[in-house]
Amino acid sequence: MVAGMVTGALAAAVFAAGGGTGGAADCYWLRVGGDFAPPSAIASSRAITYDMELVPAGAGVSVEQGGDDRGMTVTLRVDGLVPGHVYGAHVHQKPCGADPADAGGHYQHVVDPKQANRENEVWLDFTADARGNGSAVTHKDWGVRRGGAGSVVLHDEPGSAGKRVACVTVPFVSQP
């Protein structure tokens, strides 16, 4: 289990504070955490594993998003994965589903298939340590569009592609 994370069904917390005309920036913070389960348990978990060898049922996941009108930071933490394996991870357009393709394509700041890169997308690639734990953090000087991002997908290899091995639904907060 990821440190400080709720186990079992996926849990989410959102905090928002507005500065309005007082000069302070509007800000937000979101945290989603839980344990991966196979697609057959989709009703009880929104963190789904499609490959039980690379992402075993019960492995933990936590995603945080924080930001303000100057940009956002996204953090991914996992545990219980294959030690030493290099995983790709990206923010995707839609929530997870029983089929790995349900999450849609990568979220892009500027929608353009020719710009599938870490500057235009939210990449969170990581290597699981000797205990199967991993983490990644990225900061963008932009936020996500309302309804444009719905999950983080783990891939079997880093970079812009790779087989989808797990997915966690994240109700990303749009930029204020």
pLDDT of residue 69: 86
CB proximity list for 170: less than 8 A, separation 6 or greater:
30, 32, 63, 65, 91, 149, 150, 151, 152
Q: Which domains does the chain have, with CATH numbers?
A: 11-169 (2.60.40.200)
Phi-psi region of 149 (alpha: psi -120 to 50; beta: other; left: phi over 0): beta
pLDDT of residue 100: 96
For the chain, give the percent of residues with pLDDT over 90.
75
Give the Cα separation of 162 and 159 in Å (integer): 8
Mark the ranges of the chain whose per-residue pLDDT is less than 70: 1-25, 42-44, 176
DSSP code at position 47: E
